[in-house]
Amino acid sequence: MDFISPELLAYCEDHSSSEDELLRHITRETHAKVLMPRMLSGHLQGKTLELLVKILNPQVILEIGTFTGYSGICMARGLQENGRLITLDINEELEDMVREFFEKSGLAFKIDYRIGNAMDIIPSIDEKFDMVFIDADKANYINYYNLVVEKMNQGGIILADNVLWSGKVITEEGKKIDKDTQIIMDYNKMVQNDPRVENVLLPIRDGLMLARKL
């Protein structure tokens, strides 16, 4: 995920609106207590998500992959008073920690946090989405996209994280491609060729694909 030098990354962070104490606390707690803390969205991506929500003004956001709640809080901060975030995660072991973070944010009333298999939950949600953030198990990225794309309002945005997969999407001829990398490459190709959307792949953190429903 280190595509730019630490010095340049630090410069970017120094010239972006700073993290507050709650987000710094979530980062510390995630690194201290949770496996694979690199899954955390982090400062630059979190602020990007918050600003996108403020710009787009969505009424309903779906997040697939809550993890420890960093990205959810960032998106909830961007919502208008009547907006809400539905966030899904399969890891019930993190539930108490995440609910505590949501309460501390003062935004729990905007956040519908559900534990379970997103493949089962998404079809049961009987409403349209204005924004979707996919940041869960890579094996189901294409399945998640196919579940939500027809539930998007016109002009709605589907975002997918980790679409550069630590640079592994750039492959050398003859080199074997591992399963997860192939899934990400297939996802990117599918979105690129989907006539229902227009899209851009941004080299933010580990890659962020934005697809706008036409």
The whole-number pLDDT of residue 14 equals 93
> Six-digit token pair at 17?
């609106």
> Six-digit token pair at 53?
């929500």
The number of residues in the chain equals: 214
The whole-number pLDDT of residue 171 equals 77
Q: Where do the structural domains in the chain lie, given as residue ranges?
A: 6-213
Angle at 114 between CA 161 and CA 199, to 5 degrees: 25
Query: Which run of H or E residues covers position 67?
Result: none
The whole-number pLDDT of residue 174 equals 66
The whole-number pLDDT of residue 38 equals 77
**In the block, residue with structure tokens 């196919």:** 146
6-213 CATH = 3.40.50.150
What is the rounded distance in angstroms from the CA atom of residue 134 to the CA atom of residue 158?
8
pTM for the model stands at: 0.93
Average pLDDT per run of 10 along the chain, which is 214 residues long?
78 92 94 85 91 96 97 96 96 96 97 97 96 95 96 97 89 79 95 97 90 97
